[in-house]
Chains A and B, each alone.
Chain A
């Protein structure tokens, strides 16, 4: 299987999923987590489009919760990182690390 490289936003979404743990991880907290950590505002639509794409690529799996009245009787889709997702994150990290190795400390921000 050819491994697809991850875009920056895809990495952010996957990392947010990892950070939020195993329970009740869905679009709303993911968007909040990215906003909180990166300090930039995130379009919910971008998060949902990315979640769907990552699931289609096999990097996330999802389960549906029971419908609740406060959501207009609609179920919630909770996501979990798959092994393939974790592997892609690791590879992306390694690629970046290798690229950073030997880079002038002033560019790396180390004095």
Chain B
């Protein structure tokens, strides 16, 4: 041991000294730490350095806790003087919750929902936007991506550039690359199981800076051609598949058709680059690839010390310019961009998406503001009933600050109760969401976890104080304004409450009715869309159909971007399955029915709509009809027992490359061809959506309609513009990956899953079946997510309507109470009840009318802004309905106060005065 290390061990631990400096009051800091040091030296002589240091650390912690507690106790003792709050105020605030249960219930439910939704939005967008990976200096790990500005698409084929980046970039170190490949894991005595394997350069482990728990990780020499095949496995695989075998190293496993030696095990939770558990060396030489060729890759690295994203981007752009000069044909529209690592995987490398996320989050906080304004109206009405109390306290010398502080604390206790409920709701909701996403998409990337984080809790605290400020301070300032002095005189002369529902509150009521009318239609529409029973009926017995995606395993050294399924394998699989007794029909397609891909279509002789298509169109034009398309086997409709309504079905000759035959559905004929005879009419695609992928749509090629099928599945027809569909015939090798659909008879589809895997392996060991499930399960999964969204929206809608009603009720009650004397006199002078009622309702109607009118204008403006996305053509029906609903709610809320107004007796009213 060096002298220096030995010397430091004879001193008290630095952490303890720091703790004492940070927590001891300044007046005793010096002598107390001196005494402790003295005791430390005594102990060291008696017990040795190690035990003395442990003792010192323990004591400094004990001092920190005790003195912090003492400081808190002192503050609390003097709290009344310094902050305006006291224990009595807190008790009073809790008592107010109990005394006004209606307000407490409405306020807590409304604010809890608002806080929960705002916090969920915060958590999700934070998870998506937070660029810090849970790794050492995780914020310095970056992705390098190429972006084709002509098609607005990521260019994944970056193997050529990878070589240049690795050699030339100085501000990014450890530049590495990976791609995910599918492999069948073959273990003795088990079915082959498809797994995702990361083919990664050794730099990946250096970037992650995580050591293996056993063995080693990949090294650059493993990447050389001819080096032994090695694999590093994850902790979960080691435990789950190998029973935590301590002698796992050098054991061989079969991935696809090759044997790999296990050389290392990574620690629990390690999933770099995305959510991988198997890592093999990437053996591709960038030098042999032409620009924009080769397989799709992800390139990553770590910012060099002192480098920033900006400085790295400047250097990268220099490299990109040199490449563009060297390869003008391929690189003219290519831009190289450096982004925080995670952004390359959640589409946040497109700055527009990040903006949309932030705007959505802000809008959701605005919803909470609306909720709080409503609660503020209720609180103000309650404060009005306590006007005498406020006046007396003022007379006894309470300052305005003191009274505002008291009312703020009351609001804080209300908002705090809502926050506790909100946290429970959001924690449960996020858990559900996480489970739903994992079920739909498999595992999430290792850096994402939808759960309430400490930042989330801080955000809840901030929202709570913010809500309490709206709910408590605004009414308190209004209630303790200049008029209090005047009302003190009125009060002493026997007058009642002099607080008024001034212009501010009238404006707030108008504003919130307007907000509700503007926002509710969209919420109601989308809630209905999420909850309507669409997927229960797909037009075929969902419980009889088993579906799977068929992939071909990529040979280890194959550099091809995406292998087409070999004709013979898929055809053979189809034949073999057809011969199974329990299989009624087998077919395949590019996508499942109901999940077809979007494109923009032009029909010959039909003018394109004036309005451009509002969809994620990345290539070609938006001028045309938005339709969905699928590529299907010639026996697709027979297998699902869908009849051809007009013309003919597909024949095997239609799968020839020169064939232009397509089938369309009924809705396309009705909507685009206006119901005219479609046979022989020609169609062509003019725009491609991002989801459709480059190889699936050929723009500008004319196709001829040879037949018409019914809307399939029929439920989707409700989704107006989406339901026009075009079906292209395709042979076995024409699509990758293919969706295989098997209709079984006499057994349940799920019981056929194992048999299906066996048959596939027997036909071709390279065939991989993923996402094997019954349609019923797929429908249920989809339903679960939609239900969650639907119920959230319904909850929000309900709370907005209930709060609006409560706000208007409070306003009306207050107005009638203020006019008791006037109404009593009018009744005594013989005014009939209808005139009195109309005078009471006139004010409510004026406010509701103004609010509804403004709201309608707002909704129309929104609709224009979103180019019809909000109501999807139903605005003319939905908007008036919502306006009428809001006015009805308002009038119902006004009814009870008005009824009470009619019962006012003059003598009583005068006596009260």
Contact = CB atoms under 8 A, between A and B. Distances in A.
Contacts of A44: 35-36, 39, 59, 62-63
B32 interface: yes
Contact of A74 (B33, B63, B67): B33
Given A43-B62, A53-B70, A71 B28 contact: no
B91 interface: no
B33 A49 contact: no
B66 interface: yes
Nearest to B37: A72
B31 interface: yes
B25 interface: yes
Contact of B62 (A45, A70, A71, A72): A45
B35 A45 contact: no
A87 to B, nearest CB: 23
Contacts of A45: 59, 62-63, 65-67
A64 B34 contact: no
A75 B63 contact: no
A25 to B, nearest CB: 12
A76 B66 contact: no
Nearest to B65: A45
Contacts of A67: 34
B66 A74 contact: no
A92 to B, nearest CB: 21
B30 interface: yes
A75 B59 contact: no
Interface string A50-81: 00110000000000100100111011110000
B690 interface: no
B66 A49 contact: yes
Contacts of A76: 31, 34-35
B28 A52 contact: yes
B611 interface: no
B35 A26 contact: yes
A43 B27 CA distance: 20
Contacts of B28: 48, 52, 77
Contact of B34 (A43, A46, A49, A75): A75
A77 B30 CA distance: 9
Contacts of B25: 52
B67 A26 contact: no
Nearest to A32: B39
Interface in B1-54: 25, 27-28, 30-39, 41
Question: Which residue, B32, B33, B59, B65, has most C-beta atoms of chain A within 10 A?
Answer: B32
Q: Is the interface of A mostly helix, strand, loop or mixed?
A: helix
Interface residues of A, number: 20
A9 B164 CA distance: 74
Contacts of B63: 44-45, 48
B21 to A, nearest CB: 12
- Range for the number of chain B residues in contact with chain A: 20 to 34
B276 to A, nearest CB: 50
A103 interface: no
A28 interface: yes
A42 B65 CA distance: 16
Contact of A77 (B31, B36, B59, B70): B31
Contacts of B62: 43-45
Nearest to B70: A49
B70 A74 contact: no
Contacts of A85: none
B34 A71 contact: yes
A26 B38 CA distance: 12
B39 A48 contact: no
Nearest to B33: A74
A7 to B, nearest CB: 13
A74 B59 contact: no
B12 to A, nearest CB: 8
Contacts of B31: 26-27, 64, 74-77
A90 B526 CA distance: 78
Contacts of B36: 44
A20 B230 CA distance: 75
A26 B33 CA distance: 13
A43 B67 CA distance: 13
A74 B39 contact: no
Nearest to B30: A74
Nearest to B41: A70
A27 B32 CA distance: 8
B67 to A, nearest CB: 6
B37 A71 contact: yes
A65 to B, nearest CB: 9
Interface string B373-408: 000000000000000000000000000000000000
A101 B191 CA distance: 88
Contacts of B70: 49, 52-53
Nearest to A78: B31
A48 B62 CA distance: 11
Question: Which residue, A44, A45, A70, has most C-beta atoms of chain B within 10 A?
Answer: A45
Contacts of B66: 43, 45-46, 48-49
Contacts of B59: 44-45
Nearest to A72: B37
A72 B34 contact: yes
A77 B36 CA distance: 12
A74 B38 CA distance: 10
B30 A75 contact: yes
A46 to B, nearest CB: 6
A103 B41 CA distance: 48
Question: Which residue, B31, B37, B67, has most C-beta atoms of chain A within 10 A?
Answer: B31
Contacts of B35: 26-28, 44, 48, 71, 76
Contacts of A49: 66-67, 70
A76 B63 CA distance: 17
Contacts of A48: 28, 32, 35, 63, 66-67
12 contacts: A26-B31, A26-B35, A27-B31, A27-B32, A49-B66, A49-B70, A52-B28, A72-B33, A72-B34, A75-B31, A76-B34, A77-B32
Given A48-B66, A70-B41, 14 more contacts: A27-B32, A44-B35, A44-B62, A45-B59, A48-B63, A52-B70, A67-B34, A71-B37, A72-B33, A72-B34, A74-B30, A75-B30, A75-B34, A77-B32
Interface of B: 25, 27-28, 30-39, 41, 59, 62-63, 65-67, 70
